[in-house]
Amino acid sequence: MEFHSPAGPLPFIPDNLTVPQFIFDYEHPSRPARNSGIPWLIEDETGRKIGEQELRRRTHGLATALGSKFHIGEDDVVLIFSRNHVDYPVAIWAVHRLGGVISGANPDFSSNELLYQLKETKASVLIVHPDALDTALAAANDAGLDSDRVVVFDVTTPTQVTRKHRTVNELINEGLSGRERSYIERTLEPGEGRTKLAFLSFSSGTTGKPKAVAIPHYSLMANVIQIAAHNKVNEDYCDYKDRRYRPGDVAIGVLPLYHIYGLVINLHFTLFCAMTLVVVPKFIFIEMLNSIVRHHIAHLLLVPPQVVLLCKHPAVKNYDLRRSVRCVMSGAAPLSFELNQQLFQLFPDAQIGQAYGMTETCTATTMWPITQKRGASGSGGQLLPGTVARVVKTDGSLAGYDEAGELIIKTPSVALGYANNAEATKETFIDGWVRTGDEVKIDKNCEVWVLDRLKEIMKVKGFQVAPAELEGCILDHDDVSSACVVGVPDDYSGEVPMAFVVLTSDAIRRVEQDPQMAERIKESIVKHVAENKVAYKHLVGGVEFIGAIPISPSGKLLRRILRDQAKEMRRVKAKL
C-alpha cells in the first residue's frame, strides 16, 4: 500500500523563484507578516541585531562584488568552508542572485577532505572562516585554486594571515560603493525553479564516499512550505500562546549551516516564519545554555548528542531554561524512548518532537503532528503534506500497517540526483521515488518508526559517515591488509565507528614476536584515521583484529555480521 500525509493537501509552491527571491519578496498564505521591529538575525557573541533592509543591502553588495571581481555567473560554484556566521546566508543569497551554486563544507575537515569537495564541485571561489584558513589554503593550493580567490569572513580580531585576504565585508562595501559594475539578477522562467541548481550538498547516500546532492531552488522552497503547512503556520488553529511557531519567537542557530538540517529548517524555515535566528558560530554546550538565557530563546533545533547533554549535564540545573524554551525539535538521527522521556521531564510545558529526513529529500519528510504537544517517543512523526511513502519488504512486496521494510519516499522537495554520478543516482532516485536505506514501519496513525539502517551509512552525532571512506583511509596504513568498518551503538553519539582489521603478514609476525605490538598497531591505526579525517569520523569504537573479513559469494563485505559481532563484544565488556 501507499501511505499519504494526514496533514492535508500540498499548498501551492512557486517554481519560478530563486531562494533569495522567495525569502525576501514572496508572500505565501503560510507565511506570517514580520513586524518591523523583529530582527531576522542576532549575532550571538555581540548581540548585534540585523534586519531585512541590512540583509538586502549586504546581499546586493556582495553579489555586485562577486560578479565584478570573480565573474561568478551561471552555475559557477562558490564553496563556503566556515562555521556559522551572520554573513553566511548573505553569501548564499548573493551567489544565487548571480545564478551561481553554493556548496557548504564542514570547517573541521582536514585539507584532503576539503580538497575532495573542491574537486567534486569545481568551485571557483572559496569563502572561509578565519579559523579554517590554513586548511583552506592548503586544499586550494592542491586544487589549483588561486589564493586570491579565497575570501575570509570578518571576525572581531583578524590575524595577520587573514589580513592578506579580501574579507566579505570589504567586498560588500566595494559592491555598495557604486564603483563596481552592477549585475543582472538571475530570474527564472515558469517551471525553471525545479531544475535550476541552487546547492551541492554532500551526502554519502546509501553507500560509498560522499556525493554531491544536486538541489534545485524549488526543493528548498517546497520543504519550507511543506513544514509550514504541516505546522499550520499563520493559521488561527488554537490560542495564540499555544501555537507552535509564532512571529517574533527566537530560535537558536547552533546547527551548522553547511548541514541540510541547519540550512533548510534552522535558517530558511525560521526566517519564513517571521522568527529571529540567533547565529551561534560553534556548538559549545555551556555557551549554548548562556545563549538560551541571554536571548530568551524559545525554539531549540537540535540533534541527539545535544539532547543527551541537555538531559544529563550537571550544569543544566544552574539555568532557568523553562522560562523561555517552548519548543524543542530533534532531527538527523533517532532519539531513544528513554531520552525522549527525560526531555519531556526537563521541559514539561514545551512542545517536543522529532523529524526525519535526508539530504536527498532536501531535509524533512516527517514531523510530529501539530495535534500533539508531544511527539510519540521513538517516532519520526507523520508524513508532511505532499509526501507519499511505500514500505518495501525484503521480498519486494509492499508492506501494510506495522509491517517492516525499506522506506521509499516521493516528495516535491526531492533533489535532482547526485551531480556527475549517474550510477549512484540510478541506485537511489527511481522514477521520482527516493530509496532511504532505512528500515521502518508505519502504523495506522501514519507515524513513521525507524527500526534500523539497511544502508551501510552510520549516523555519528547526526552526521553521515560512510564505512567505505574510512576503510580506504585504513587501507593506507602499512600494517593493514583489509578492513571493514561498522557502527556500534553509543549513548552520546548514536553510533561510533569501529574497525575490524586484517593485518599484513609482516605485522602478524611482529605481533607474534612481541604481544605488546598489537596494542601499538591499534593505536597507530586510530591515530592514522584521526590525522586524516574530521573528528566525528574517528575510530572511537576502537580497532579489533580479525583473521578474515566475511564476504558474500559476489565479494561484498558482509558488514551486518561484523556489526552484530561488535554489538556483542560491547555487551560483554559492559558486563565486566
The pLDDT of 26-36, averaged and rounded, is 94
> What predicted TM-score, i.e. pTM, was given to this entire model?
0.86
Task: Convert the pLDDT of each residue in 43-69 to its tens digit.
Answer: 999 999 999 999 999 999 999 999 999
pLDDT at 525: 96
Nearest to 561 by CA among 546, 539, 542: 546
pLDDT at 160: 58
Class of the CATH domain delimited by 49-187: alpha beta
pLDDT at 312: 84
Query: Which amino acid makes up residue 59?
Result: T
pLDDT at 553: 55
Domain with CATH 3.40.50.980 in the chain: 49-187
Task: Convert the pLDDT of each residue in 272-301 to its tens digit.
Answer: 999 999 999 999 999 999 999 999 999 999
Q: How far is CA 237 from CA 9, 231, 241, 370, 408, in A?
A: 17, 10, 11, 10, 32
Cell triple for 426: 540510478
Domain with CATH 3.30.300.30 in the chain: 460-575
Q: Which CATH architecture has domain 2-15+196-453?
A: 3-Layer(aba) Sandwich (3.40)
pLDDT at 554: 47
* Residue whose cell numbers read 605481533: 511
Q: What angle do CA 472, 407, 299 make, to 5 degrees?
A: 90
Nearest to 453 by CA among 465, 445, 443, 444: 465
Task: Convert the pLDDT of each residue in 483-505 to its tens digit.
Answer: 889 998 888 888 999 999 999 98
Buried b / exposed e over 468-481, threshold 16 CB at 10 Å, is bbbbebbeebebbb
pLDDT at 576: 65
Q: Which CATH architecture has domain 460-575?
A: 2-Layer Sandwich (3.30)
pLDDT at 459: 84
Q: Predicted confidence band at 552 (pLDDT cuts at 50, 70, 90)?
A: low
- The DSSP code for 149 is G
Q: How far is CA 384 from CA 9, 374, 402, 567, in A?
A: 9, 17, 19, 34
pLDDT exceeds cutoff 80 at 12: yes
Task: Convert the pLDDT of each residue in 518-534 to its tens digit.
Answer: 999 999 999 999 999 99
The pLDDT of 303-324, averaged and rounded, is 91
Least confident of 210-224, 304-318, 520-534: 304-318
pLDDT exceeds cutoff 60 at 430: yes
How far, in whole angstroms, is CA 9 from its chain's centroid?
27
The pLDDT of 380-407, averaged and rounded, is 95
pLDDT exceeds cutoff 70 at 76: yes
Domain with CATH 3.40.50.12780 in the chain: 2-15+196-453
Task: Convert the pLDDT of each residue in 103-139 to its tens digit.
Answer: 999 999 999 999 999 999 999 999 999 999 999 999 9
